[in-house]
Amino acid sequence: MRKGKSLIGLALIVVGMVFVSIPLYHEWQQTKGVSALEGALASLEVDPLHGSSQELTTEWTQEELEEVKTLEIPSIELEQYVLGETTEENLALALTQINPNQAPEDGNFSIAGHRGYRGDRHFRQLSNVSDGDEVRLTADGKTYVYEVNSISIVDPTQTDVLDDSDDPEITLITCTLSGEQRLIVKGVLVEIIEEAQAV
């Protein structure tokens, strides 16, 4: 009887350790992937005279690396990479652009991201954004500045939030804490800053 209780206790400890280690493993994988991405981006030094770059020895192509954008939301201290295509692999690593090849000034520029397991990774703090907050998307030597004008919770089937618009806007999407619905943050484009101006 006593031996049986000891085995049950030991089994519960092992199960608990497995549950604790799963998010830590995912976080380690994500950190490792981001480090590799940063290294690949650092190696992408284009020669302005010849338009060539160093030979890449990464899992990303030069074209994929050139499509990487950055998203900043100062109010929640968010600064994340945005990869050019939404895939499971890319979502595990960073934020992703929903419509590939879309320019930020063209219609509804939508970005998806997981909530993340802990800390400030991915869109974990997106629910703390408020109306009027600034969202900055940097791509191709320009920074697109948006002002948040709408925050809502929708069902996963409500895909009209991704519909294109006549005016340039941004849509940020992540899961709610329960995972059953989606948090949608929208903003309107208020300014485009050229790289020379930003310095």
Please provide the average confidence, as pLDDT, over all residues in the chain: 79
Quick one: DSSP state of residue 179? S
Residue 46: its pLDDT value, please?
Answer: 42
**What is the DSSP track for 41-78?**
HHT----TTT---PPP-SSS-HHHHHT-EEEEEGGGTE
Q: What residues contact 23, with CB distance under 8 A and at least 6 apart?
A: 117, 118
Cα–Cα distance list, 46 to 42, 57, 62, 71, 99 (Å): 10, 15, 10, 22, 26
- Catalytically annotated residues: 114, 175
Name the percent of the chain lying above pLDDT 90.
40
Average pLDDT over residues 179-187: 94
Q: Strands (DSSP E) along 118-168, which ranges?
A: 134-139, 142-154
Tens-place pLDDT, residues 105-151:
889 999 999 886 555 568 989 999 999 999 999 998 899 999 999 99
Quick one: DSSP state of residue 163? -
Q: For residue 12, what are its two tokens? A: 């519960």
Tens-place pLDDT, residues 52-93:
444 444 576 777 778 889 999 999 999 999 999 888 888 888
Residue 36: its pLDDT value, please?
Answer: 60
d(CA 138, CA 153): 26
Q: If pLDDT is split at 50, 70 and 90, which confidence band does 50 have? A: very low
